Amino acid sequence: MTEFPFEHFLSTPEALDCFSSEAIVQGMLDFEASLAWAQSEVGLIPTGAAAAIAAHCRVSLLDCNAIVVKSSHAGALAIPMVQQLRAAVATVDKEAARYVHYGATSQDAIDTAVMIATKKSLAMLDAELGRVVYAVAKLAREHRSTPVLARTLMQAAQVTSFGAKCSNWLAPIARSRWALRELKSDALRIQLGGAVGTRALMGKQGVEVSRLMAERLGLTSAPAPWHTQRDRIARISAELGILSGSLSKMARDIALMMQSEVGELGESAEDGRGGSSAMPHKRNPVGAMIAIASGVRAPLRVAGILAAMTQEHERGLGNWQAELAEWAGLCVTVHGAAHAMGDFCSMLIVDVARMRANIESQRGLVFTEAICQLLASDLGKNEAEALVQVASRKAIANDSSLAHELRIALAADPMSFGVIDERELAEAFSVDSAASAAAWVVDANLNELAAMRALD
């Protein structure tokens, strides 16, 4: 559990635990145990020594707090860990203690521990995204032709369908989920290079040791170490940043649609959720708030990881260490956003009547494009646009409808009288026809995602 309350607020205990001191130290110990067993299998160290080492590779047997405290003085978390482990093994087998961390370096243990933590973190993230994808796809299908205002530059524009809006939220989130699945199998690699990345003490057997370790730890085998090759980390971090942005975009749209004066979406009641310390009537969109906060923070963490790629020679000075902190923070932050949106979507209430009322409150002004298109065939494009523009201004000035002012304008103009009948005019102002015309967006998005198996 983190000691920082604001991190806890923006994520989950499970996500934070993935990168806790205990988890990372245990990950390093898992590295040491798998290293010893693999080296014993290829004959580099005695089997008895591997057994003695592995028996002490449990975080509960070491002083985790002391390891963390001493790491800043030592320069790496692995150094005090190896010292404690070696001392513990020596109490039962001094000969075996000689083989603790044999042929490895601190970065090997730390990078591998972070990959172990990341594997668990990404599995949890995938599950959370599954909740979001399922819920939003369901909304898209159910509201395929439900009319809602489309808004451009924060202003009422035309009529679309709520299903189309949902499918546009869904598509980038599902694509990021698919991309992360593709990337992680390649990125989550064992790290084993020794002092300068040559596996000098293990010789030709280092490749087999690495393979055996990866198999034991459930990571991808690495033909060569990647101490200063941080492209895979950067690539997956970029995708996490993209995902955070997509979650934040959806969250912001929903929050805007939940504003009291808009009221198109709501959240089912739950005691203690989204309340105000001063205003009992308020229902704040907490899930959206957490996802938006992630959208603010994640890009900065991605930028930090990209900046940390310039690692000197065979081991980075300060930039690798910065990357470790930013990486853990990024994983925790994005998981918090996905979890919040998963909960948020499951409690979302769609007010179809309010959506229609908000469209009708525009008094037909959102249909100007359709009306211009209808009139253009008889009046010409420029004349039609001029006529509709005048009618629109009068509708606003007189607090009337565009249809009313348009009928007056058409009747008063000898050149346009009779060019359009009432049935055509009614169809051009039809809320349901406009929403139905947007329904294909749902099909296009869902079909594309299904084809790439991004909805699985």
3-state secondary structure of 349: strand
Q: Distance from CA of residue 267 to its chain's centroid?
A: 22
Same-domain check for residues 273 and 179 = yes
User: Does the pLDDT of residue 30 top 90, yes or no?
Assistant: yes
Q: Tell me whether residue 283 is in a domain.
A: yes
In the chain, the percentage of residues whose pLDDT exceeds 90 is 84
CATH of residue 424 = 1.10.40
> Look-up: residue for tokens 């591997």?
50
Nearest 5°: the CA angle 330, 335, 339 is: 155
CATH of residue 92 = 1.10.275.10
Q: Looking only at Cα atoms, what is the longest distance across the chain?
A: 107
Q: How far apart are CA 241 and CA 428, in angstroms?
A: 42
Same-domain check for residues 75 and 32 = yes
Q: Tell me whether residue 338 is in a domain.
A: yes
Same-domain check for residues 97 and 237 = no
Mean pLDDT over 132-138 rounds to: 97
Quote the pLDDT of residue 415. 65
Mean pLDDT over 318-343 rounds to: 95
Same-domain check for residues 15 and 89 = yes
Q: Tell me whether residue 397 is in a domain.
A: yes
User: Does the pLDDT of residue 167 top 60, yes or no?
Assistant: yes
Q: Tell me whether residue 218 is in a domain.
A: yes
Q: Where are the beta strands (DSSP E) in 129-175?
A: 147-152, 155-161
Same-domain check for residues 297 and 376 = no
Q: Return the structure tokens found at 280.
A: 């009992």
Bridge partners of residue 421, in order along the sequence: none
> Look-up: residue for tokens 């308020």?
282
User: Does the pLDDT of residue 8 top 90, yes or no?
Assistant: no
Q: How far apart are CA 109 and CA 413, in angstroms?
A: 83
User: Does the pLDDT of residue 4 top 80, yes or no?
Assistant: no
Same-domain check for residues 307 and 245 = yes
Q: Distance from CA of residue 142 to its chain's centroid?
A: 24
Q: Counting Cβ atoms within 10 Å, is residue 204 exposed (0-12), middle (13-18) or buried (19+)?
A: exposed
Q: How far apart are CA 434 and CA 443, in angstroms?
A: 16
Same-domain check for residues 205 and 298 = no
Q: Does residue 320 contact residue 233 with C-beta atoms inside 8 Å?
A: no
Same-domain check for residues 255 and 385 = no
- Distance set, CA 306 to CA 5, 117, 224, 310, 388 (Å): 27, 20, 22, 8, 52
User: Considering only CA atoms, which of 267, 264, 297 is closest in space to residue 284?
Assistant: 267
Residues classed as catalytic: 276, 315
Q: How far apart are CA 103 and CA 115, in angstroms?
A: 20
Mean pLDDT over 302-318 rounds to: 96
Mean pLDDT over 245-262 rounds to: 96
Of 307, 328, 354, which closes a domain?
A: 354
In the chain, the percentage of residues whose pLDDT exceeds 70 is 94
Q: Counting Cβ atoms within 10 Å, is residue 286 exposed (0-12), middle (13-18) or buried (19+)?
A: middle
Same-domain check for residues 282 and 384 = no
Q: Does residue 342 contact residue 128 with C-beta atoms inside 8 Å?
A: yes
Buried b (16+ CB within 10 A) or exposed e, 216-235: bbebbebeebbbbebebbbe
> What region, left, alpha or beta, does residue 62 occupy, with left being phi > 0 and alpha being psi -120 to 50 degrees?
beta
Q: How far apart are CA 107 and CA 192, in angstroms?
A: 8
How sure is the predictor about 277, in pLDDT bands with cuts at 50, 70 and 90? very low
Q: Tell me whether residue 216 is in a domain.
A: yes
Q: Tell me whether residue 456 is in a domain.
A: no
Cα dihedral 296, 302, 305, 309 sign? negative
Q: Tell me whether residue 62 is in a domain.
A: yes
Q: Tell me whether residue 155 is in a domain.
A: no
pLDDT in tens, 56-69: 999 999 999 999 99
Q: Return the structure tokens found at 83.
A: 């010292």
Of 332, 354, 376, which closes a domain?
A: 354
User: Does the pLDDT of residue 270 top 70, yes or no?
Assistant: no
Same-domain check for residues 268 and 235 = yes
Same-domain check for residues 391 and 279 = no
pTM flag (> 0.85)? yes
Quote the pLDDT of residue 283. 65
pLDDT in tens, 398-426: 999 999 998 888 777 766 656 677 788 88
Of 179, 201, 225, which closes a domain?
A: 225
3-state secondary structure of 157: strand
CATH of residue 291 = 1.20.200.10
Quote the pLDDT of residue 273. 52
What mean pLDDT is reported for the chain? 92
pLDDT in tens, 84-128: 999 999 999 999 999 999 999 999 999 999 999 999 999 999 999
Same-domain check for residues 323 and 389 = no
Q: How far apart are CA 341 and CA 322, in angstroms?
A: 29
Count of the separate structural domains present in the chain: 3
Residue range of the domain that includes 260? 121-133+160-189+227-354
User: Does the pLDDT of residue 427 top 80, yes or no?
Assistant: yes
Lowest-confidence segment of 60-74, 282-296, 387-401 by average pLDDT: 282-296
Buried b (16+ CB within 10 A) or exposed e, 129-159: bbbbbebbbebbeebbbbbbbbbeeeeebbb
Q: How many CA atoms lie within 13 A of 197 on its CB side?
A: 12
Cα dihedral 444, 131, 297, 284 sign? positive
Quote the pLDDT of residue 2. 43
Q: How far apart are CA 36 and CA 99, in angstroms?
A: 8
